[in-house]
Every structure is written in structure tokens, then in C-alpha cells.
Chain A
Amino acid sequence: MDFFDDIIIDIKQLTFSRGERYICKNMDIRIPRGKVTAIMGPSGTGKTTLLKLIGGQLKPDSGSILLDGDDIPRLGRSELFDAREKMGMLFQSGALFTDMTVFENVAFPLRVHTKLPQDMIRDIVLMKLQAVGLRGAAELMPSELSGGMGRRVALARAIALDPALVMYDEPFTGQDPIAMGVLVNLIKKLNQALGHSSIIVSHDIKETLSIADYIYIIADADVIAHGTPEQLKQNDSDQVRQFMRGLPDGPVPFHFPARDYETELMEGR
């Protein structure tokens, strides 16, 4: 079956720039429904920015981002907040509300978007915390959690409303190997069990390849390759090979653009 028979997000001709620099230029990305899609690329290529564009936190210069037919950049403020109920996002830092307990953090989206009775909210929160293995930490404050635990709580919060789309911003960065393994499994399992679509932004190749159904690699403000993990492993473009194998220099330069090295050194004399 083709991945793209049923797509949840359709990004067309997306252009976004910061000052003179293009973060994406006429970019086309389609996110299949019910699958784990990874967006990979070297640091600083605007992967997080792309998630913020999808979430409507940034407005593109041009192009469209269709979420089930709604063009995110063109939604009004209140429609945008309604559309966000369909999305969950796991921030790189976790971004838990520091003045609430773990329980209240996970309950927050339920309390603001549903009129469920207290005992039902309690049950849902406990189920979500059980799913991430932190039911026992329900009464702790975010400051009492380790980084990995914080991110799992944030994950429980992101899936509290059973969103159609969950976006993960660098979920594996800064995790110890055990927490990393736990997260990888969780993301895969949750995707299968809850049937939502996931977008993972990451540059951790091994982990991402192990759970992604489809991968986009972006560099130089555009998609340089896309395909299933198998297809990408066999891709013979220099740029893709450099990234997939983690070679320090290649078509994606190791050096930030600079003047000639020798000239600059000699100038100081």
C-alpha cells in the first residue's frame, strides 16, 4: 500500500526566512496518517522551526500547511487554537508547567478542553502516566524529576487529549541510554496503540531509523531526500550518505561559511 493514500499534513511550497536566511524554500512535505514520520537533518537546518510552522506558532512567508484540509497559516486566532486540539507537541525541554504537579500538568489539557467529571479526568491522567511508567510520580513537582522523566511526563501530557498528530522535537537529545531506549519504545508503542500520526524531528540516526516508517532529510532549506529507512540506506547521493553515516565533512559543510582561513590568519600580523 502506498504511504500517501491518506495524508494528515500536506505542506506545499512552504517558504520561511529569518532575515536574509531561508529556513525553508518551496518545501513540499507530506505526512502520512497513522505512521511515524521523521524529519532529519543537521543541527540548525530549521527542523524545530518546521514544527513551529506546523503548529501555527510561526507564520510562513508563503506556501500552505494543510492539516486535514485546514490551512494552518490562514486560520484566525481562535480557529488556530481549535486546530491545536488535534495536535500534541513534545518540546525539547519538556516545558512542563513548573507551578503544577505532574498530575496537574497532564490533567491541564483535559481540564481546559473537556467538561469531563473529576473522577474521569483522574482516571485518564493515571492511565496516561501509567503508559509512560510514571504513575508513581503523579504528586511530584517538575523540579523533582530528572530530565528523562520530565520528558516522559511531557509526553503523557502531549497525548492526554488523544490528538490525531503528535510532534516530537528532538525527543532523544540528552537522554541516557536507558531513557533513550524507553522513549524509543514508548513512541513506537503509543503510535501503534493510539493510532495517531507522529512526526519526529531528530538527528539521532540510529534511534530514528529504528522507529520511523518514512523519513525526510532536510538541508539547505529544502528536502534533499525522502523515503523509507531502507530506501534511504541505499541512497547513493553524497549528501544523504554523509548524513546517514555521520561523516564530518562533505556536501553539508563542517564549517560555518567564513572568509578564507589563511587570509584571516595573516590579517592579524
Chain B
Amino acid sequence: MAAIVNNLALLGRFALDRVAAIGRSGLILMHAIIARPQPLIAFPLLIRQLYSVGVLSMVIIVVSGLFIGMVLALQGYTILVDYGTEQAVGQMVALSLVRELAPVVTALLFAGRAGSALTAEIGLMKTTEQLSSMEMIGVDPLRRIIAPRFWAGVISLPILTMIFSAVGIWGGLLVGVEWLGIYEGSFWSNMQNSVDFFDDIGNGLIKSLVFGLVVTWVAVFQGYDSVPTSEGISQATTKTVVYSSLAILGLDFILTALMFGDL
């Protein structure tokens, strides 16, 4: 009997902790979003974060986009050539990229590259009492540290996603047209006929915006809420990557069902 009660108590404690964590993360998000903007101070901070969160993630995004586009074209070609429809490779590559692969893969890479870095950076600032000392100087770390990082993530991810798609399509062109010899005219015209700007590109961008919000939110919250020890930071970084990856994949299904479910 005692064991059952204990287990129930543990379950209750676990649930309460989770709910409290969600509450705290909501508060952090609220403070980051509704912070009264001070353009003169905030803008340079945002630019700096855009550089470290966005620009420094470019290499991994460009390289991955290129290879994924190339693989898509190669796989698509080997299947489509049996039916004599290899001209559709361009359309296939573009649609898979803008609708699914670019938003999802970019967000996953972004969580691993930038999300984990944000968590570790903020966690270490907490461990070394930099956040506390900033508070004591009378500067709100939620506005000074969290808000610029959050917005940098939200702004960067859709741009990185567009870059990923563009590079991926170029990779598909390299393999499909330059290597396998598909007629370039039909590669592009099939793509132009089938890819709709709002339905495909627009929805892909909406996805990446949602992923950007979620990944950066998870990352800054995990850093800010981490236990200030080396073990705590390592756990927080792991949680950032795991939670944001799961959130990306789960949300992708929901968003896809909402956007393309009625087709």
C-alpha cells in the first residue's frame, strides 16, 4: 500500500514539476515578446545574435541542402525513369523541399547547431552568476539576454529554410540536368507549373516560422531554467535538442495535416 502511495506521490510531483516548468517557460516567452522595445539598445544586440545564431549556421545549412537536393534528384530519377517521366524530377525535388524537407531538416539542424549553443551559453551565464549580477545592476536579463536571442532565432530560421530550399534545388539541378541529362527546360517548367507560391512556398515558410519559435523558445528556456552546475548545463543542452526535435516532427505532422490534409 505504502509503495502505491509513494508512486502516486512521485507521479504527482512529476506532473506538478512539468506544469510548473511550462508555466515558467510561458512567462519567459511573454517577457521576451512583450518587452518594451528600446531600439537603440536592442537593435545592435539583435544584429549580433542574428550573426551568431543565423549567419554562423549557414555553412551546415548550405552543405546539407546541397546534398539533400542531390540525393532527392538521384532517387527520384531512378524511380521516374522507369515510367519515362524523368522530366518531373525538378517538380519532385522542389515540392519535397519547400513543403517538407527544407523546413523540417533546417529546423532539426538549427536545433542541433544554434539551439544547443544558445542553451549552453545562457546556462553558463547563469552558472557564473552573470545573469544574477545583471539583475542586480538593474538590467532585466530577459530583455537583454533572452529577447534578442529569441527574436534572432525566429527571424533566422525562415531565412535559412529559404536558403536550404534554393541550394537544394540547385543540387537537384546539378544531378538531374548536368549529370543525368534531363532536359533543363522541362526541369524548370514542370517545377514552375506545379509549385504554387502561396500553397507550397508560403506554407513551408509558415512551418519554418513555427519551428523557429518553438526551437528558440525551448533553447532559451532550457538555458535560463538550467540547474547551475556543469551537469545541469549538459542536461539542459541535451533536453534542448531532444525536445525541439520531437516538437518539430510532431508539429510538422499537425501543420501538414492542416495545410495539405484536404488535398
Q: Which residues of A contact B129 (CB under 8 A)?
A: 91-93, 95
Please choose the segment from A82-90, A175-183, A202-210 that sits at the chain B interface, where 4 or more of its residues have CB less than 8 A away: A82-90
CB distance from B223 to the nearest CB of A (A): 15
Task: Please measure, in the bound complex, the distance between the C-alpha atom of A95 and the C-alpha atom of B128, giving whole angstroms.
Answer: 6
Q: Does B15 contact A (CB under 8 A)?
A: no
Task: Please measure, in the bound complex, the distance between the C-alpha atom of A55 and the C-alpha atom of B133, giving whole angstroms.
Answer: 10
Task: Please measure, in the bound complex, the distance between the C-alpha atom of A28 and the C-alpha atom of B136, giving whole angstroms.
Answer: 23
Task: Please measure, in the bound complex, the distance between the C-alpha atom of A108 and the C-alpha atom of B130, giving whole angstroms.
Answer: 13
**Residue interface mask A43-64, B partner, CB < 8 A = 1:** 0000000001001010000000
In chain B, positions 109-144 with a C-beta closer than 8 Å to chain A are: 128-130, 132-140
Q: Find out whether the CB atom of B136 lies under 8 angstroms from the CB atom of A57.
A: yes
CB distance from B86 to the nearest CB of A (A): 53
Closest to B129 in A: A95
Q: Find out whether the CB atom of B138 lies under 8 angstroms from the CB atom of A55.
A: no
CB distance from B143 to the nearest CB of A (A): 10
Q: Does A22 contact B (CB under 8 A)?
A: no
**Residue interface mask A61-95, B partner, CB < 8 A = 1:** 00000000000000001000110110111011101
Contact of A82 among B128, B130, B138 (CB under 8 A): B138
Chain B interface main SS type: helix
Q: Does A109 contact B (CB under 8 A)?
A: yes
Q: Does A21 contact B (CB under 8 A)?
A: no
Contact of B139 among A87, A88, A112, A154 (CB under 8 A): A112
Closest to B36 in A: A78
Closest to B31 in A: A77
Most-contacted residue by chain B among A55, A85, A92, A95 (CB, 10 A)? A95
CB distance from A87 to the nearest CB of B (A): 7
Contact of A84 among B41, B128, B130, B137 (CB under 8 A): B137
Task: Please measure, in the bound complex, the distance between the C-alpha atom of A95 and the C-alpha atom of B141, giving whole angstroms.
Answer: 14
Q: Find out whether the CB atom of A81 lies under 8 angstroms from the CB atom of B140.
A: yes
Task: Please measure, in the bound complex, the distance between the C-alpha atom of A97 and the C-alpha atom of B41, giving whole angstroms.
Answer: 17
CB distance from A174 to the nearest CB of B (A): 15
In chain B, positions 18-70 with a C-beta closer than 8 Å to chain A are: 41
Q: Does A113 contact B (CB under 8 A)?
A: yes
Closest to A97 in B: B130
Q: Which residues of A contact B138 (CB under 8 A)?
A: 81-82, 84-85, 109, 112-113
Contact of B137 among A77, A82, A109 (CB under 8 A): A109
Q: Does A98 contact B (CB under 8 A)?
A: yes
**Residue interface mask A186-220, B partner, CB < 8 A = 1:** 00000000000000000000000000000000000
Q: Which residues of B contact A85 (CB under 8 A)?
A: 138
Task: Please measure, in the bound complex, the distance between the C-alpha atom of A98 and the C-alpha atom of B41, giving whole angstroms.
Answer: 19
Contact of B132 among A91, A109, A113 (CB under 8 A): A91
Q: Find out whether the CB atom of B128 lies under 8 angstroms from the CB atom of A87.
A: no
CB distance from B201 to the nearest CB of A (A): 37
Q: Find out whether the CB atom of A55 lies under 8 angstroms from the CB atom of B136.
A: yes
Contact of B128 among A81, A98, A112, A113 (CB under 8 A): A98
Q: Find out whether the CB atom of B135 lies under 8 angstroms from the CB atom of A57.
A: yes
Closest to B135 in A: A57
Q: Which residues of B contact A157 (CB under 8 A)?
A: 137
Closest to A55 in B: B136
Closest to B133 in A: A95
Contacts A93-B128, A95-B128, A98-B128 given; indicate if A112 touches B133 (C-beta within 8 A): no
Q: Which residues of A contact B128 (CB under 8 A)?
A: 93, 95, 98
Task: Please measure, in the bound complex, the distance between the C-alpha atom of A144 and the C-alpha atom of B167, giving whole angstroms.
Answer: 42
Q: Which residues of B contact A81 (CB under 8 A)?
A: 135, 138-140
CB distance from A156 to the nearest CB of B (A): 13
Q: Which residues of B contact A92 (CB under 8 A)?
A: 129
Q: Find out whether the CB atom of A89 lies under 8 angstroms from the CB atom of B140.
A: no
Task: Please measure, in the bound complex, the distance between the C-alpha atom of A112 and the C-alpha atom of B134, giving whole angstroms.
Answer: 11
Most-contacted residue by chain A among B133, B134, B139 (CB, 10 A)? B133
Closest to A160 in B: B137
CB distance from B51 to the nearest CB of A (A): 13
CB distance from B33 to the nearest CB of A (A): 15
Q: Which residues of B contact A112 (CB under 8 A)?
A: 41, 137-139
Enumerate 15 A-B pairs (CB-CB under 8 Å) in ascending A order: A52-B132, A57-B132, A57-B135, A81-B139, A84-B135, A84-B137, A85-B138, A91-B132, A91-B136, A95-B130, A95-B132, A96-B130, A97-B134, A112-B139, A154-B133
Residues of B within 8 A of A (CB): 41, 128-130, 132-140
Closest 6 A/B residue pairs (Cβ):
A95-B129, A95-B133, A84-B138, A89-B136, A85-B138, A91-B129
